[in-house]
Amino acid sequence: MSLHIAFDNSYDRLPDRLFTRQAPVPVAAPGWIALNDGLARELGLDADALRSEEGLAMFSGNAVPEGAAPLAQLYAGHQFGNWNPQLGDGRAILLGEVVGPDGIRRDIALKGSGRTPYSRMGDGRAWIGPVIREYLMSEAMHALGVPTTRALAAVTTGEEVIRETALPGAVLTRVAQSHIRVGTFQILTARGDLEGLRALADHAMARHYPEAGSVPEMLAQMVARQADLIAQWMSLGFIHGVMNTDNCSVAGETIDYGPCAFMDAYHPGRVFSSIDAYGRYAYGNQPQVALWNIAQFATALVPLMPDQQRAVDDFTAIINRFADLYQEAWIARFGAKLGLPDPRPEDRPLIEGLLTAMTGAETDFTNGFRALAEDAPERTGASPEWIARWRARGPDFGIAAAANPVVVPRLHRIEAAITAAMAGDHAPFHEMLGVVTRPFDPDPALAERYVAPPQEHEKVDKTFCGT
């Protein structure tokens, strides 16, 4: 069976200073971990052909399919608030773009595909842990309805990756609406490359904001997408962990699942990232960080405007809409979690009252909110007074059930799947994938194991960037 993919590579037609053309670096002995048949169909690809030896060669970087235009993208970014003037795909290769049956253009990229000019001191490889984590997290987020990059395939390399110790290597194939980041714009502005900046802005508008007739309108639509995205994260107890501007997608998708996690016990100051010493990207700080990132995007766009001083004023007004848009989305999301048929601003004290109670009781975030769907509010840690006020609002348990998942990919279960995969056993990964991609109706025979929060000896307090 011959593998055929109809690539249509628009990013490759941008100024070549935005990337370096480079093929992935081959690996020794690739083997399968997983292929996402459903996503393959969405892309208009033949899953059986992808599962062939040709497909395995493509997903491992051992062969470049006809029509692909492999390249490593250039960008910069603010990392933990500090400016880094040049970053880029240090261990990723964009193979190219496909247009699915739905008419949506998507990137297909390899992560862990070897050194590039942007690797700095890195080896450009990935070990199996980050690959397993991103596959599970991104597919769970998609099942939860959150805009996100997706995982098309994961393969082993037959090679070891040296970190603190020798670890089994792997490659993830990631699908995204694009890999254009805030930092992609920032590097062009920092270099005074107005021609490149204009080309990138036109490309981003055509690809992600076709209804935007101008740069200010693109910014306004991006603000709205980010406000809703962050409200979704917050409503699920999701912590991204490394919200640098180079990890902020202009398309409005969740991208770069490094030190990410879903909370167990609720606390607004919760941090999982091992490198976030001061809690910049704590759960409760995510809306403010998103706003800060949007401001950096707007700053990068200013040189495109004929009257730059007026643009600063206009862009500031657009950015300031984020607060209201986010609050509206937050009320809607959390109101639904409480089962409120018509969430409104006056419900904020009711929502915040529950969150305060959950903080004090160290209530499990997912299970606590799911208890409302099961008419068991006493399991949330809320007081009788709060429960009485909630009942007086007339909650609809169907609405609550639709807004509160039964399962999320908990860290301790991910770590167990990674440990098994390191020993060559992928069964726990596949079992967990089957559960977390049915977050509202998991297999009853498996659900109990994935619903339970970690016991004391199972708790994972720190996560690491996917290096």
Q: Per-residue pLDDT averaged across 65-89, rounded?
A: 96
pLDDT digits (tens, 9 = 90+) for 374-406: 999 999 999 999 999 999 999 999 999 999 999
Q: Which of 228-237, 324-333, 434-443, 452-461 has the lowest mean pLDDT?
A: 452-461
Q: Per-residue pLDDT averaged across 187-203, rounded?
A: 98
pLDDT of residue 465: 65
Report the sign of the C-alpha dihedral through residues 427, 403, 261, 82, in that order.
Answer: positive
Is residue 330 a contact partner of residue 231, using CB atoms and an 8 Å limit? Answer: yes
**DSSP characters over 382-398:** --HHHHHHHHHT---HH
pLDDT digits (tens, 9 = 90+) for 50-70: 999 999 999 999 999 999 999
pLDDT digits (tens, 9 = 90+) for 209-233: 999 999 999 999 999 999 999 999 9
pLDDT band at 2 (very low <50, low <70, confident <90, very high): confident
pLDDT digits (tens, 9 = 90+) for 272-320: 988 898 999 999 999 999 999 999 999 999 999 999 999 999 999 999 9
Q: Per-residue pLDDT averaged across 144-166, rounded?
A: 96
**Are β-strands 126-127 and 166-176 bridged in parallel, bridged antiparallel, or unpaired?**
antiparallel
Is residue 384 a contact partner of residue 353, using CB atoms and an 8 Å limit? Answer: no
Whether pLDDT at 118 is above 50: yes
Report the run of H or E that residue 262 belongs to, with start and end: strand 261-262
pLDDT band at 466 (very low <50, low <70, confident <90, very high): low
pLDDT digits (tens, 9 = 90+) for 92-105: 999 999 999 999 99
Q: Per-residue pLDDT averaged across 357-375, rounded?
A: 98
pLDDT of residue 463: 81
The structure tokens 């987020």 sit at: 141
The structure tokens 């690959």 sit at: 131
246 noted as active-site residue = yes
Whether pLDDT at 1 is above 50: no
The structure tokens 């910069």 sit at: 76
pLDDT of residue 461: 83
Catalytic residue (one of 12, 107, 246, 314): 246
Q: Per-residue pLDDT averaged across 115-136, rounded?
A: 96
Q: Taking all residues of the chain, what is their mean pLDDT, rounded to a whole number?
A: 96
Cα separations (Å) of 307 from 77, 202, 261? 25, 19, 43
pTM of the model: 0.97
pLDDT of residue 467: 52
